[in-house]
Structure 1
Amino acid sequence: MKLFQSYHHFLLLVILLSLTTTSVAVPKYAKTGCKDTCGNVSIPFPFGIGGNCSVNKWYTVECNSSKPYLSALIPHLEVVGVDLENQTVTVNMPAISNCSSQTKSVDLGTTPFMYSKSQNKFVAQGCVLAVMMDNNGSVLTGCYNTSINDTTYVIDRNKCSGISCETTIPHILKSYSMNLMGLKSLGGDAPCGFAHLVDRNSYVEGISSSNYVKTSLLWTLSRHDFDQIRCSDYADAIHFSVKLGNGNSIPSGKCTLSYRYTPTLGNPYLEDGLEGVSISTGVLFLAALTYILYKLIKKTKDRRRRKRFFKRNGGLLLKQQEEADPSLVDQTMLFTSRQLEKATDNFNENRVLGRGGQGTVYKGMLVDGRIVAIKKSKIVDESQLEQFINEVVILSQVNHRNVVKLLGCCLETDVPLLVSEFIPNGTLYDRIHCETDEDPMSLNMRLQIATEVAGALAYLHSATSIPVYHRDIKTTNILLDDKYRAKVSDFGTSRFVSIDQTHLTTLVKGTFGYLDPEYFQSSQFTEKSDVYSFGVVLVELLTGERAISLTRFGENRSLAARFMLAMEEGRVMSIFDGMVIREGTSDELLAVANLAMRCLNFNGKNRPTMKEVAVELETVRTSHIPSAVQTNTKAVTYEHELSMLSYGELTSTILSSDENITQ
């Protein structure tokens, strides 16, 4: 009622003050005598329609059949928008769908344009493996979409339609090449699919099925060109450098709005592009009232929206549990959306710790000084809200030194937010696959981490009040603290089972390379499915190789399959990491290898329990002497097996760590 009365009074003021005369200048975008639009696309200076209307030939736009084109580029690229603030021009770029050979992008080498890192995403659609490389052939990033239909991980082309993956590019590019590998090139007969660098906003809006995609190019102004431009009196001329990925930089300039004036229309790159506005006192008063009413309405809407989200995300279910058992819920801290927005600087991109299939994780600092990790889920499944609330309540009570502690949650946002302790030393995946020669990972550290993870899973399976199945054990979900102790994290796909249950029937979820083949076939997840995934992690620790390789084909692409074949052929030492071989004895390494082999057994009933795995690993770890120096005799023993490997086989391409499969 109060809100309605305020709005009624506001309308009366609008009627009275609208009679006040104002004088407002018309905003200007193009040079005098030049057109500023082509079709429905605005073309602001330093771009211009016609040679005399732009700062130089590269910025000249040709208007052909009401469509603007950058005429100096080969091929001519259609302009779909110019952003003066971000200094980008969005163009229609050919989509890449050629799976038969390496395809190169449009080369921007001699132009003032570059492929923007911040405004683009690298996206692959369909059943494809897409790898982006620089001119030297070095891998920049990759994206991988597939599905499997049996224990040998054969690609099922019938389950790939509509799948897409996305990632970022590491730095600004002048050109790149791309390798696409589709089902057709892998022996199938399905169409190839697409891969492209696409403008972020266009990707959010949805990509059409045409042969072109919108891509954002960063544009720069040389010192000579920028000296020809007279920025508006309401704008500042700024000189800066654009850093390239090769260590070089390109000088550029920009006209940016001054703190003295913040208009919403006009062009700061023109001396008369931003005119001042003459306003009467009445209009100033009207503006102030408008702002006050806007803040009042916004505050009311925000409060109602938070209440709606709290109810939708299971807040009422949490209150019901609190009534049933207050001591249980007291340990589950409820954070407000404002607390977490403040902790993450409004979820600033600079605070992102990582992105996964379930959501994005941000680093934050609470008002009491605690550093926390805040996970923002991608979607919310309202049918699973009761399960979600139960998991939050129980996980907040899980207290194990090798499990990331859940501190609480926030239910006031569009998707639930989970708050957990911050673990500083990154993931086990990064420690294994991104280590340097100066800081190798010792065998003792690998055994310690494996033992700690096994102990944590054994605790979740059998020591909690309700057994917890993790369902997505992989090296990216194992964190390392300041003393490099393992912490099992990311329970986004975890499920609880009652004591009398032996399995859980669900939609298949997991990560390609770690997924239990028995679970994939039956959709029945058991504690032994976690054992299989742990077996892959154990093999990663022994070999230093990734669970899935892009440089191999068929069964050799799967690390688990390669390891099992090497065991069967009696040459398993040949695929072990050099540090492991130097520091371990034959008995130690074969004991761990045999344990991994048992974990990877296709029949879940024949796999050990995580408690048995933890005991065996602890035995090996305590018997291992880290300082022991192996003799030359051992080196001779392994010499024949190691000679079977080529260095090319020991390298593998970086994949996005989030290759999730959902059936």
Structure 2
Amino acid sequence: MSNMATTLRLQAIALAVLLSRLAPASAKLQPPPLGIARPGCRDRCGNITVPYPFGIGAGCHRDDGLQGFQLVCDDTRSPPRLTIYGYNYQLSSLALDAGEARTYLNATRQCYNATGGFIGGRTSDTYMSLGTSPYLFSPAKNRLVALGCPNLGYFSDMAGYYVSGCMSVCRPSQYAIPGECTGVGCCQSAIPPGVNFFEPNTLNVPQGQGDSTFNTNVTRCRYVFLVEAEWFRYSDSVYLNRTDDFAVPVVLDWAVRNVGNCSAAKRNTTDYACRSANSGCVDSSNGAGYRCNCSKGYEGNPYLNDGCRDIDECQHKDEYPCYGVCTNTPGNYTCKCPPGTSGDASTQNGCRDKDKFTLALKVVTGVSVGVFLSVFVCFWLYLGLQKRKLIRTKQKFFEQNGGVLLQQQMRSYSSAGAGAGGFKIFSKEELEKATINFADDRVLGRGGHGIVYKGILEDETVVAIKKSKMMEEAQTKEFAREMFILSQINHRNVVKLLGCCLEVEVPMLVYEFVSNGTLYHYIHDKDLKADITFDTRLRIAVESAEALAYMHSSASPPILHGDVKTANILLDDKLTAKVSDFGASKLAPTDEAEIATLVQGTCGYLDPEYLMTCQLTDKSDVYSFGVVLLELLTRKKALYLDGPEENRSLVSSFMTALKAGRYEELLDSQVRNEMRADVLEEIAHLVVRCLSMSGEERPTMKEAAERLEMLRRYQQHPWVQAGGNAEERQNLLGMEQQNLPYKFRQQDVLDLEEGSTYTFSL
């Protein structure tokens, strides 16, 4: 029994040893080779690999209705011969990734005797027709070559039309110029893409009879052929004296061409050629069609199911260097330093001892972090101080400009249920963003009070932002209150004040944007030959007068503009007038006190009484409006500094002409042609009253607006336009006058100059 037990133990030990030796071998088993052809099909013909979609025999190739993927292998030859089924063209190689195939083609040859007579050559088996196969001649890899001289070589398509060609000539050897196939003895030319037919031709250039220099200036034979560019290397000693036949390699581009490009192929999933899960589609660069490639990190045949397999990068260290622990992953790999080391494992000697490296890294990191934190804290403190300084400065300006009072007014106005009328207090940053930091290309205009910019708010609202130049300290105390009252103005002919910015030294105002510029530019900068109808001028005057009358009579408290002029009257896209720019405006007092202030305004429009008393009244705006009315009628500027002294002022020119009884000469020619005489006298009468030296003799803005509106209705009345008789027109004018609170006297004498009177007969 003991012997048997001993025997069994020995057998067990032997079996264990055998299994231990077999285990490593089984662990090192390699996966089966990557599939090239379909299962059960030949993948080689001689030394040429035949990958699917190509195949030898039935069922072994891709069948898409086009000949070309089916190949024939003739094993009876040595070496075996691989040809394209149906074409009998021999292939010398097939490349799956590059999408190329190589074949051989005979060169066309024509030979001549010493006198230039044709003695024979080879023109058969020198053309190739690829039809509707997957193949096309590669324009990138092939060149058309013509050898011999003189020789004009070319080839044509199936219809006989020229495709490509070149000409070579000869030079005596003593004048030979070095160079490879550049036109002397040999020439070459590129071919276009999409070519599937090649038929070469040569054109003989006859030589003179008995040419004694034949042997040096011409060759016996001339050749034309299509050839792989990298294969062909020209040498005059090799090719110029050839008289035999030879074949040259030609590169063909192949692709799946039955459905078009990738996008069309992917829609037809049943016929889609890229069958492997880890594959992609690439459009053909030569003609219609597509090819398939394995995704990055995979290799194999993308035309077969599961044909693309993961690359084990760890087994290809030449391509994927790793000097540490390499771990393969699907489509990629990782490379890490061995335990106890750290660094870059993809470079040689990149992994270092972890303890030393960590210590050095900690020291460097500690110092760097310390320096960085110190700099960061200092920088943060500096920014904090600057930010606090900026906030204090903004708050100072905000309080100085009456911002606290304005906020209280807005809150009390809202609590009363009236709302704030859309008025908003903007921050400086909002307006900077709206104007792209007040860029020069956003400037709409420049004036005495400041610069106006075009701005676009965050809600895409287009606005006009006025950035004032300076402001008196006394003005800032009442600024916020006045701005809030101005914001409550809601009149179609007054530019709406949308808000303001008070956190800057000089407050900025935000107005609605009016698109068509100023009345000044409309009547003065416009082509002087361009028509501006009298009705348009009268309508603009009426709308401007109504806006000023509204501010004088309907606003609470009343508002005096203080700088009425054509540059402060804007026009929208329909030429509707909108009065703007309240830079010199004031609120009328609620008690009996007069307004005494520094004189502001624009020369040529200033009320003479205001200049003498420094007291701004509603009649000061009436005087300035009279000048605007004169500009509309005459289309002349209020002040001409370059002209003669007596003609520099439009008002003085008008008064002088009125005194001489020829004021009509000042009027614009179109006004004289369109305005009736009775309307002219009425308007002239109104202008004279507005320009009176005494404010008490001037009409109110409401009177002026009503008078102009009456004249506009009268001018537009059908009786007047039809040229009715004078009695009818007088009755109509009288009817219109009855609607006014003031009726002009028929004999109204105005004291315009001391000792002079002027009478209007109506």
Q: When the two structures are superposed, what TM-score results if normalisation uses the length of structure 2?
A: 0.44
Higher mean C-alpha displacement, 608-617 vs 548-557: 548-557
One of 318, 330, 336 as aligned partner of 2:427 = 336
- Aligned partners of 2:681 and 2:595: how far apart in 1? 33
- Aligned partners of 1:482 and 1:464: how far apart in 2? 27
**In the alignment, is residue 494 of structure 1 matched against residue 582 of structure 2?**
no
Q: 8 Å contact 2:518–2:569 — kept in the other structure?
A: yes
Question: How far apart are residue 285 of structure 1 and its match?
Answer: 7.8
Question: How far apart are residue 301 of structure 1 and its match?
Answer: 2.7
**In the alignment, is residue 410 of structure 1 matched against residue 501 of structure 2?**
yes
- Aligned partners of 1:438 and 1:291: how far apart in 2? 64
Aligned counterpart, 1:302: 390
**In the alignment, is residue 374 of structure 1 matched against residue 465 of structure 2?**
yes
Q: 8 Å contact 1:317–1:386 — kept in the other structure?
A: no
Aligned counterpart, 2:209: none
Q: 8 Å contact 2:633–2:668 — kept in the other structure?
A: yes
Aligned counterpart, 2:405: 317
Q: 8 Å contact 2:402–2:481 — kept in the other structure?
A: no
**In the alignment, is residue 532 of structure 1 matched against residue 623 of structure 2?**
yes
CA shift digits 1:33-71 (9 cap, x unpaired): xxxxxxxxxxxxxxxxxxxxxxxxxxxxxxxxxxxxxxx
- Aligned partners of 1:457 and 1:601: how far apart in 2? 18
Question: How far apart are residue 381 of structure 1 and its match?
Answer: 2.5
Name the CA shift for 1:478/1:435 in 2 (closer, same or farther; >3 Å): same
Question: How far apart are residue 503 of structure 1 and its match?
Answer: 4.0
- Aligned partners of 2:571 and 2:681: how far apart in 1? 26
Matches within 5 A, 1:219-258: none
Unaligned runs of 5+ in 1: 1-279, 632-663
Q: 8 Å contact 2:405–2:481 — kept in the other structure?
A: no
Question: How far apart are residue 553 of structure 1 and its match?
Answer: 3.1
One of 610, 634, 646 as aligned partner of 1:519 = 610
Aligned counterpart, 1:365: 456
Q: 8 Å contact 2:400–2:477 — kept in the other structure?
A: no
Name the CA shift for 1:290/1:455 in 2 (closer, same or farther; >3 Å): same
**In the alignment, is residue 564 of structure 1 matched against residue 652 of structure 2?**
no
Unaligned runs of 5+ in 2: 1-366, 724-762
Higher mean C-alpha displacement, 604-613 vs 325-334: 325-334
One of 476, 481, 485 as aligned partner of 1:390 = 481
Q: 8 Å contact 1:361–1:375 — kept in the other structure?
A: yes
The residue type equivalent to 1:392 in the other structure is M
Q: 8 Å contact 2:561–2:586 — kept in the other structure?
A: yes
Question: How far apart are residue 293 of structure 1 and its match?
Answer: 4.8
Question: How far apart are residue 385 of structure 1 and its match?
Answer: 2.5
- Aligned partners of 1:292 and 1:630: how far apart in 2? 81
The residue type equivalent to 1:330 in the other structure is A
Q: 8 Å contact 2:539–2:712 — kept in the other structure?
A: yes
Q: 8 Å contact 1:333–1:407 — kept in the other structure?
A: yes
- Aligned partners of 2:699 and 2:455: how far apart in 1? 39
Matches within 5 A, 1:462-473: 462-473=553-564
Aligned counterpart, 1:578: 669
The residue type equivalent to 2:398 in the other structure is F
SS of 1:619 mapped into structure 2 = helix
- Aligned partners of 1:308 and 1:519: how far apart in 2? 35
Matches within 5 A, 1:84-233: none
Question: How far apart are residue 359 of structure 1 and its match?
Answer: 1.5
Q: 8 Å contact 1:503–1:527 — kept in the other structure?
A: no
Q: When the two structures are superposed, what TM-score results if normalisation uses the length of structure 1?
A: 0.50
Q: 8 Å contact 1:461–1:468 — kept in the other structure?
A: yes
Aligned counterpart, 1:220: none
- Aligned partners of 1:610 and 1:501: how far apart in 2? 20
**In the alignment, is residue 476 of structure 1 matched against residue 558 of structure 2?**
no
Aligned counterpart, 1:504: 595
Aligned counterpart, 2:74: none
Name the CA shift for 1:551/1:630 in 2 (closer, same or farther; >3 Å): farther
- Aligned partners of 2:518 and 2:592: how far apart in 1? 32
Q: 8 Å contact 1:531–1:607 — kept in the other structure?
A: yes
- Aligned partners of 2:702 and 2:688: how far apart in 1? 16
Question: How far apart are residue 425 of structure 1 and its match?
Answer: 0.6
Question: How far apart are residue 433 of structure 1 and its match?
Answer: 0.4
| Aligned alpha-carbon RMSD (Å) | 2.6
**In the alignment, is residue 613 of structure 1 matched against residue 704 of structure 2?**
yes
- Aligned partners of 2:486 and 2:419: how far apart in 1? 11
- Aligned partners of 1:444 and 1:488: how far apart in 2? 19
- Aligned partners of 1:550 and 1:322: how far apart in 2? 46
Aligned counterpart, 1:88: none
One of 683, 688, 691 as aligned partner of 1:600 = 691
SS of 2:619 mapped into structure 1 = helix
The residue type equivalent to 1:524 in the other structure is Q
Name the CA shift for 1:444/1:329 in 2 (closer, same or farther; >3 Å): same
SS of 1:513 mapped into structure 2 = coil
CA shift digits 1:93-147 (9 cap, x unpaired): xxxxxxxxxxxxxxxxxxxxxxxxxxxxxxxxxxxxxxxxxxxxxxxxxxxxxxx
> Relative contact order (alpha carbons < 8 A, sep ≥ 6): 1 or 2 greater?
1
Name the CA shift for 1:426/1:518 in 2 (closer, same or farther; >3 Å): same
SS of 1:524 mapped into structure 2 = coil
SS of 1:409 mapped into structure 2 = strand
Question: How far apart are residue 458 of structure 1 and its match?
Answer: 0.7
- Aligned partners of 2:607 and 2:471: how far apart in 1? 26
Q: 8 Å contact 1:442–1:580 — kept in the other structure?
A: yes
What is the aligned length?
352
Q: 8 Å contact 2:401–2:477 — kept in the other structure?
A: no
Identity among equivalent pairs (%)? 50
Question: How far apart are residue 338 of structure 1 and its match?
Answer: 1.2
- Aligned partners of 2:522 and 2:486: how far apart in 1? 27
CA shift digits 1:367-394 (9 cap, x unpaired): 1111111111112323222321121111
Q: 8 Å contact 1:404–1:489 — kept in the other structure?
A: yes
SS of 2:539 mapped into structure 1 = helix
The residue type equivalent to 1:456 in the other structure is A
Aligned counterpart, 1:454: 545
Question: How far apart are residue 586 of structure 1 and its match?
Answer: 1.7
- Aligned partners of 2:393 and 2:664: how far apart in 1? 59
Q: 8 Å contact 1:321–1:329 — kept in the other structure?
A: no
CA shift digits 1:242-290 (9 cap, x unpaired): xxxxxxxxxxxxxxxxxxxxxxxxxxxxxxxxxxxxxx97888877666
Aligned counterpart, 1:125: none
Question: How far apart are residue 311 of structure 1 and its match?
Answer: 1.4
**In the alignment, is residue 546 of structure 1 matched against residue 637 of structure 2?**
yes
SS of 1:423 mapped into structure 2 = coil
Q: 8 Å contact 2:715–2:721 — kept in the other structure?
A: no
Question: How far apart are residue 351 of structure 1 and its match?
Answer: 1.1
- Aligned partners of 2:436 and 2:654: how far apart in 1? 45
